[in-house]
Amino acid sequence: MENPLCGAAFLKPETKQLAEPKPNQALIDAMTKSIDVSLATCWSIPDWPKWRDAAHDVKAYTLANLDKLLAQFADNLEAKGVKVLWARDAEDANKIVLEIAKENNVKTVVKGKSMVSEEMELNKAFASIGVRALETDLGEFIVQLTGKRPTHIVTPATHLSAKEVGEVFHEKLDVPFTEQHEELTMIARHKLREEFISADMGMSGINIAMASTGSFCLVENEGNIGLSTTAPKIHVALMGIEKLIPGPEYLPLFLNMLPRMGTGQKLTSYTHIFNGPTEGRKLYVVIIDNGRTRALAQPRHRKVLHCIRCGGCMARCPVYRQVGGWAYGWVYPGPLGIVLTPQLLGFEKAGKLPFASSLCGACSQICPVKVDLAHQIVRSRAESIESPASPAHSIAERLLWTGFVWMMKKRWRYNMAMRFVKIGARFAPLLPYHPWLMGRWTRGRAIPAAQKEGSFGKWWKKNHKD
Ligand code: SF4
């Protein structure tokens, strides 16, 4: 399966966008509004820090016992007549889902939003066997019409203004242009309604799975998940292995945290709990690893699997707000993507991502389940540089830093090096061309002129005689 992180093209768009940022005002406005509303809703709970601690502890317990809890979840599902299937990676998961589609002679699929299905590039896989898959979440529906990836994990079309959505609908759906929110929603509603009724199969992700009862929960605001999972006769739910909690006693905690940080709501408009197939219907649950056990096996990165996909860290991240989701090259953008993508795909494909951060630490502060994102970003940088297959692994840079350490160990070496730097700084602006990294740096910047007073040491001696 074609992976967008493979090949020489990877990170070129990111590099370009970081070098020549064109801030997207719709994205900046949406993120600013979203974070203000979310924080107010979260902190309206007086014990919010304790809730965060509790959610963190539940997730830590779950991950420490994941093998047993997953087995318990699967056994309980099967006892209710649910068909449980296990996928090692995205390719495996696609094979399983396509097999289900073929067995049931499926021609059309309606899909609720699922980031795992984005990992799998499931729509492409469906197209390869002639199955038409339609995204039914409003944001995903818009993004699918544009033929691009979502830019955010909760609000996929957040980069588009109402005017731009109106233009997309006008062009792709052949309807009169409008930029009125209600009218745009009604157009999508009208187009999607018939699809729900006629689809052969419905698909969804899973927000929270409960091991002790073999049930799972989906939250939404639009009603499309309810229709996608109940109108067709077959429902296939995709789940990453980390979506589990031990049992329903912890469900209210996560049902509160996810929408409060995700959309600033106390609860989502709809909460669905699935307890097995109803009569005459089929329910499949596909449990997917796709690199997650790699993170699970590393104590330094395990906490990234606490993530409940609320999107809060993206809204808070100064880099994400400038560059948007596509710049991160794959499914998960922002601080979450920086940490998770190298774990899922390996540093050889995503080794540059950990460097797309200002390291301000705002993401760690905001995360409702206390994923230590900032620390993980720093660790990922170190690991990326150490990993020989990573594009961030540079022998030249290693030599440079070894030389720097050698220089800093003796005062005379430092002084001598500074003399060379001064001479270089004086003559560099006169040169027509600067080689290698220097050239990249000076393309958009002027080299600062050396101080006339000489070195910092001389200045210090002159001004601090006592
Ligand atoms: S890492 Fe934390 S803040 Fe970011 S999406 Fe996951 S749960 Fe939300």
pLDDT tens digits for range 63-78: 999 999 999 999 999 9
Domains of the chain: 45-290 (3.40.50.10420), 400-463 (no CATH)
Q: Which residue has the tokens 């106390």?
A: 266
**Digit-coded pLDDT (tens) for 392-414:** 988 888 898 899 999 999 999 99
Q: What is the distance between the alpha carbons of residues 85 and 74, in angstroms, rounded to a whole number? A: 9
The pLDDT of residue 3 is 38
50's tokens: 């304790």
pLDDT of residue 23: 65
Q: Find all residues with CB under 8 Å of 465, minimum gap 6, and list them.
A: none
Q: How far apart are CA 17 and CA 23, in angstroms?
A: 9
100 CA from centroid of ligand 1 (Å): 32
Query: Residue 14: what pLDDT?
Result: 45
Q: Which residues of the chain have pLDDT under 70?
A: 1-23, 466
Q: Residue whose CA is closest, atom 6 of ligand 1?
A: 307
What CA–CA distance (Å, rounded) separates 124 from 1?
9
Distance 459 CA to ligand 1 centre (A): 48
What CA–CA distance (Å, rounded) separates 34 from 309? 15
C-alpha 212 – ligand 1 centre gap (Å): 25
What is the distance of C-alpha 20 from the center of its chain? 23
Q: State pTM to two decimals.
A: 0.85
Strand order in the sheet with 132-135: 83-87, 282-288, 234-240, 201-204, 108-111, 132-135
Helical packing angle, 411-427 and 395-408, nearest 10° = 120
Token representation of residue 225: 């998940």
- Closest ligand 1 atom to residue 312 Cα is 3
Q: Given this model, what pLDDT does residue 24 score?
A: 79
In 3D, which of 337, 352, 345 has the Cα closest to residue 383? 352
Q: Where are the alpha helices (DSSP H) in 104-236?
A: 115-120, 122-128, 138-146, 162-173, 181-198, 224-230
Counting from 1 in the atom list of ligand 1, the atom nearest the Cα of 373 is: 1
Task: Report the atom number in ligand 1 closest to the C-alpha of 366.
Answer: 3
CA of 15 from ligand 1 middle (Å) equals 24
What spacing in Å lies between the alpha carbon of 391 and ligand 1's midpoint? 26
Which residues have C-beta within 8 Å of that of residue 142, sequence separation ≥ 6?
A: 156, 157, 160, 165, 168, 188
What DSSP string runs through 297-319? T-TTTGGGGG-----HHHHH-HH
**Strand ranges in 35-180 using DSSP code E only, listed in sequence order:** 83-87, 108-111, 132-135
Strands 132-135 and 108-111: parallel
